[in-house]
Amino acid sequence: MDDSSDWGRLYVNRRCCGAATCRNLAPELLGEVPTPAGLDARGPAVLPGSYAPGAFTGVLRQPRDREEFLAARAAAAACAFGAIEIERPRALSPHDRLAAPWADWPRRIEENVWVLGHPSPRSVGALSYFIERPEGGVLVDLPKPDEALWAWLEAHGGVRWVFVTHRDNAQHLEELRARFPACQGIIGAADVNAKASAYFSVTSGLEVQLDAAAGPWRLDGSPLAEDARAGAEFVILPQPGHTPGTLCLLYRGRFLFTGDHLSHSRRLGHLVAHRLQCWFDWDLQCASVGRLVTWAEAAWLRFTWILPAHGDWHRLEGQGDAATTAARLREGLAWMRRQPSGKVSLLRFVSYVATRKAPEGRLARVMRALGGEGGEALLLPAPVRRYLSHPTPARARAAARRLLAVGCLVLVTASGLTWLGVRLVGSLGVRP
């Protein structure tokens, strides 16, 4: 990596788990690392040596001025696992004090739609958005609680609705509702959590719970007739697949908020869904995107912006007419259908992420002992290892053989000890 800079140097270490939040905050500096699933890539290439083995994000180029350095700081602050390293720029004086990374956030995307910043580690750095309205705004997924952010939301009309795209992104719901007690919550009924866990907040108290078999709906959960959809301010779309109750929100036929359902790949150059992070049913997720295609071909579904919680956001060319929307969705769906069926259990993915979050932890060391560098891939099902930036099929097979040998050795040892135990007990039993 020889892209020198007086405005700091970026490096993505092995803690990177692919949330991609950082790439939205510093798009000129950070991009996707190639994988075997993206051999037809046509987007920007990252610098060799700018990322550790296994990282999903690398450096496109180093910061060139103060503004880009500040964008890099925000990207680093957004990473839930501290995967982005950035050195202090030589161009800054030792006495130059910098404000907090989120000091000038939220940022306007277009019109009255804002991205909030302040992503929470509890939702693995998921982005949250705010639709500002005089009668009270709509919060799409939840940020990390912050007094300055709460005050900003109050100054911009307050929160009337909180739209939870799926169960993963409901963290900090209690804190939000304590500050905005009048806000109403919306979630897919199949994603409701009755009990808190290490990964999910309780969402059984949300007022609007929508059945994925029905819809589309208005913001209050009432059915929306087909002839009313094209002009509706809000349309809630059932999109199960990533989770059983995933919802998307269409605003003014211009902004589509997708949670973890659908995003854009700059490297591939089209819309994508995330097979590696499909917790429920990939074929169902493909079918859901197929419904989006059908609705766009019916000329009432259109959007200019696709705004995910994880993954790269994107503005479609032109003004997002229905024909363009349908074409972009068809392109993404065609790619999705070429990917293997199935899902990744949350337990397996969490175990994989644990090795990324703590690369010197016990589990990570055990997996490297079995599979060498990148051995944590063995925690994932074989069909999805192609979405990693360092898949090593030969090494995985060798690791599987070692694991089998260790298992056989343990079995033989246990059998031997059992046999010796039986003999010992027998010998003791026949003594006079």
CA–CA separation, 184 vs 398, rounded Å?
A: 53
- 2 CB contacts (<8 Å, ≥6 apart)? none
Would you state the structure tokens that stand for residue 413, as one six-digit string?
Answer: 């040892």
Q: Are 261 and 243 in contact (CB under 8 A)?
A: no
Q: Say what percent of the chain tops pLDDT 90.
A: 76
Q: What local confidence, expressed as pLDDT, does residue 227 receive?
A: 94
State the distance between the two ends of the chain, measured CA to CA, in whole angstroms.
79
Q: Which two tokens stand for residue 227?
A: 């002839």
Express each pLDDT in 258-276 by its tens digit: 999 999 999 999 999 999 9
Q: Using one digit for the tens of pLDDT, what is the confidence trace for 45-71?
A: 999 999 998 999 999 999 999 999 999
Q: Per-residue pLDDT tens for 85-98?
A: 999 898 888 778 88
- Please name which of 50, 199, 190 lies closest in space to residue 126, comparing C-alpha atoms: 199
Indicate whether 202 pLDDT > 60. yes
In this predicted model, what pLDDT tens digit does every residue of 162-192 receive, in sequence order? Answer: 999 999 999 999 999 999 999 999 999 999 9
pLDDT of residue 198: 74
Gyration radius (Cα) of the chain, Å: 24
d(CA 159, CA 183): 6
Mean pLDDT, residues 195-212:
90
Answer for the pair 260, 277: CB distance below 8 angstroms, yes or no: yes
What is the reported pLDDT for 240? 98
| pLDDT tens digits, one per residue of 16-54 | 999 999 999 999 999 999 887 766 667 789 999 999 989
Confidence of residue 401 (pLDDT cuts 50, 70, 90): low
